[in-house]
Each structure stands twice: as structure tokens, then as C-alpha cells.
Amino acid sequence: MGFATDCIHAGQEPDPTTGAVTMPIYQTSTYVQEGLGKHKGYEYARTQNPTRRALEKNLAALEGGSDAYCYASGMAATNAVLTLVKAGQRVVVSDNVYGGTHRLFTKVLAHYGVEFAFLEASDAGAFDAAAGRFDLLWIETPTNPLRRVCDIAALSAVARKRNALLVVDNTFMSPALQRPLALGADIVVHSTTKFLNGHSDSVGGVAVVKDPAHAQWLQFYQNAAGAILSPFDSWLVLRGTKTLALRMRQHEENGKRVAEYLRGQAKIRKVYWPGFTDHPGYVVQRRQASGFGSMISFDLGSREAAARLLETVRLCSLGESLGGIETLISHPATMTHAGYTQEERDALGIGDGLVRISVGCEDVEDLIADLARGLEKV
Ligand SMILES: Cc1ncc(COP(=O)(O)O)c(C=O)c1O
């Protein structure tokens, strides 16, 4: 089946009891059993829930995985995947990943004897030479917020050489634009809060796997630790993925128009978007993805200038998060990347003048007019 067909139908058979075309919200904590050990495959809702399972099957199909497990947030999914790593092992992470991922790794999981190293990964050869031994490689591509492109296939070869796993946080692209498992990744993680749900009304996460042994562990851990996605949130994300293919086409079109507009503005020092033909990752992005995404960062030079724009725009809502149908605009240094120290942000190039925009599906002329109003105040 094609991608849009899978978005609408994968994992979603009409309800066997009533024929309801939409997967019902199974809002129950437990299930009646016919006798000891005799039940319909559902015992307790932390362990199994039909709405959650339908979403998991849907997302596994969209990412081309063998299975998927949904958690209470993107961070809970990230944490679940990191339980595949044991004390004494080493994890290498592409730098400028989401600040919450950096915080979880360095301030929580490092306490359990796992070593973390953050490395520039947009040049796979240089990365290979510098990375040393590792057991798991965690990347985002294009990176957040500087939109550097990592070559998934090349990094999967680098990981394979070390017998290590490659995990890709695909939140920014969604499977509509990029399918890392087909390029050699072992596991894909998403904050479903973003493009997959798409309507800014649910927090959730998913890990999609290829290997049945990983599926078995992540299911076991989901039940053991209990950070499950609720039935209602599962239903919301299922409703969101039905329109994923449609939404992503509009995000892509609007993203391109906004990036080109921003690049033409004298007050903007630099625009970060991998769809510019002179972007260093352009060729790799074209090869490994079917689009460039609608996440754009741009540098206004100072915190004051960024604040003036952010406090003037109206249609672009100032807020954390991304991937909603509505345009969101944010200030990485004080919002998404506040978990990094000032020195770490300086080293990465995440300056105080940097603004990130998640371009939504509004009429693009309205978005450009709003940004123009904001730029007048800078
Ligand atoms: C790329 C990326 N991964 C993971 C997360 C964490 O997801 P959540 O907020 O659903 O826990 C975020 C949140 O912004 C993100 O941007």
C-alpha cells in the first residue's frame, strides 16, 4: 500500500464488535476474564490496550518497522530505548540534539554507569575517526536547531562496524519525509506530540523497531516501568496520523516559502534550512529524505532582537513544541535548549539571537505578513 493509504488504514481494522470505522477509545483499566488463564488477550490496561495497540501497529507500518511501542511522552520513549544499554557501555550522540534528550542522558542516565559523548556527526568519515568505541549511536537529522544533516546510511555502517545500534529520533521529519529504518537504522524514536499527532493536543512518544528481540524488551519495559500512552492520547495520535501525508505536503510547501522569504531579509544574519542548495547537507538530505521539512532556524544577532520579533508576531505563536498544524515560534537558548549550559550552547553555535520556527499549515501569505511585522520591530 502507499504511504497515505497506510496512514489511514494500517493497524485500523473496523471494530469487530460494532463495525465502528474509527478505532474506539478503550477507556478501561482492566478486562473481565472468563476463567483462570482464559481471556481475550487483554488482562490489565498497563500491559495491553486495543487503542494503544492499533496506534502501535499504525506507526510500525508508517516507519517500516516490525513493531512499535508507545509511551507517555517522547522522553519516556527515549528513556525506554536507553534501557537497551547497560552500565559500562558507551553512547555517542550527535550534538545539538533536543535539550531534553541531552538533559536525560547527562543528568539522569549518566548516574547509572553509562558513558555519554556528544559529537558532530554531519561528516560520517570524521565522526568514524573521532568516535572511538561505542555501543549505541543516537542521532537527530536534520539536527535541532541548527539543521545539520547526518547521513543515516553512512552512520549505520559506522555503527555496524562496532556492532552498535543506530537510533534515529525522527520527530522533525516524520515518516512522511524520512524513513530511517530503510536506511539502516535499528530503532526510530518519535515525540508523537509533534508532527505525528499534529494538532498540539497530546503528549506522547513511540519507539519503532526492526528486531523482534528489541520489540520484546520494549514491550516488557513498557509494562514493567509503566509509562504508557493513555487510550485517549493513543486515539488522538491515530486521528492525527490519518492526515499525516496531507499535512506534511502543506508543511513542506509552506516551509519552503517561509525559508526563502527569511533568507531575503537584511536583518537576518543566517537562515538554517537544509533545502537551500548551498546548505552543506543538501545533497544527503535530497538522497535520504523526500523533503526538507518545515523547521527553520534563523539568527537575528542578539537576544533583544529575537525578543522584539517573538513578542510582535501574533499568528506565529510563541511557544515550546513544534509540528502542529499551527505555526509555533521559539527561542532555543531559553526554551528547548535551556538544558545546555551557556558554554555548551556557545560551542554549538546556538546563540541568543537564534529563533526557531515550526511552519504550520496556515495560508503562507499570512505567515509571511506576520513575520514581516515582527521584523519591522527588530
Ligand atoms: C526532537 C525531539 N525529540 C524528543 C522530544 C521529547 O518529546 P516529548 O516532549 O513528547 O517528551 C522533543 C520535544 O520537543 C523533540 O523536539
Q: Which amino acid is at 144?
A: N
Q: What is the Cα–Cα distance from 320 to 337, expressed in whole angstroms?
A: 10
pLDDT band for position 96 (50/70/90)? confident
Grid coordinates of 163: 556492532
Asked if residue 67 has pLDDT above 90, the reply is yes
Asked if residue 47 has pLDDT above 90, the reply is yes
Percent of the chain with pLDDT over 70: 100
pLDDT band for position 16 (50/70/90)? confident
CB-based contact 3:61 (threshold 8 Å): no
Hey, whose CA ends up nearest to atom 2 of ligand 1?
98
Active-site annotation holds for 194: yes
Active-site annotation holds for 345: no
Q: Is 293 in the pocket of ligand 1 (CB under 6 A)?
A: no
How far from 141 is each of 133, 188, 284, CA to CA, in Å? Answer: 22, 12, 11
pLDDT at 245: 98
Q: Which amino acid is at 81?
A: V
How far from 39 is each of 42, 54, 118, 235, 336, CA to CA, in Å? Answer: 7, 19, 48, 24, 45
Q: How far is the CA of 253 from the centre of ligand 1 (A)?
A: 23
Choice among 98, 221, 261, 272 that is catalytic: 98
pLDDT at 242: 98
Active-site annotation holds for 169: yes
Q: What is the Cα–Cα distance from 114 to 99, expressed in whole angstroms?
A: 18
Q: Is 144 in the pocket of ligand 1 (CB under 6 A)?
A: yes
Write the secondary structure of 216-249 as one string of H (helix), E (strand) and C (coil).
Answer: HHHHHHHHHHCCECCHHHHHHHHHHHHCHHHHHH
Q: What is the Cα–Cα distance from 287 to 301, expressed in whole angstroms?
A: 32
Asked if residue 17 has pLDDT above 90, the reply is no
